[in-house]
Amino acid sequence: MSRFLSFGLVTLVVAGLGCGGDDDPTGPGNPVIDTGTLSVSTVTTGDNIDPNGYMLLLDGSESGVIGTTVTAIRSDLPVGPYLVQLTDIAANCTVSGDNPRTEEVTKDGNTHTVFDVSCEATGP
């Protein structure tokens, strides 16, 4: 009986040693990544506003549809610069300011940018 207990104890110790290194989030294989939040707002004014909203791109990749007057929040983004752009804008609407624009996400911060869009009446 004591042989069985000894074997069980060794197995537990070896299993515990084998798993501990991978669970350490700050170990050499798992560097800590600083993150922050990016908030993107749209404010649309005028006539014949596009009811489908716009496509939001981060660094050239689609991040999803954003409404015409709304704020989208992306948290846990790695710190650094991001190219933020609205696309899929109706022909009668224009964005004021830079589009795309670069926004810097900072550690534990909330970077906020606003896209002002104005739309003109179409048709008679």
Average pLDDT over residues 11-24: 43
Question: Is the per-residue pLDDT at 13 higher than 80?
Answer: no
Average of per-residue pLDDT across 108-117: 97
Which CATH number goes with the domain that contains 107?
A: 2.60.40.10
Average pLDDT, the chain: 82
* Predicted structure pTM score: 0.73
Comparing CA positions, the residue from 44, 38, 54, 115 lying closest to residue 87 is 54
In terms of domains, do 75 and 113 share one? yes
2, 27: one domain: yes
Residues 21 and 56 both lie in one domain: no
Note whether 5 and 48 are same-domain residues. no
- For the stretch 84-104, pLDDT in tens is 999 999 999 999 999 999 999
**36-48 residue pLDDT tens:** 999 999 999 999 9
Measured CA to CA, the distance from residue 7 to residue 9 in angstroms comes to 5
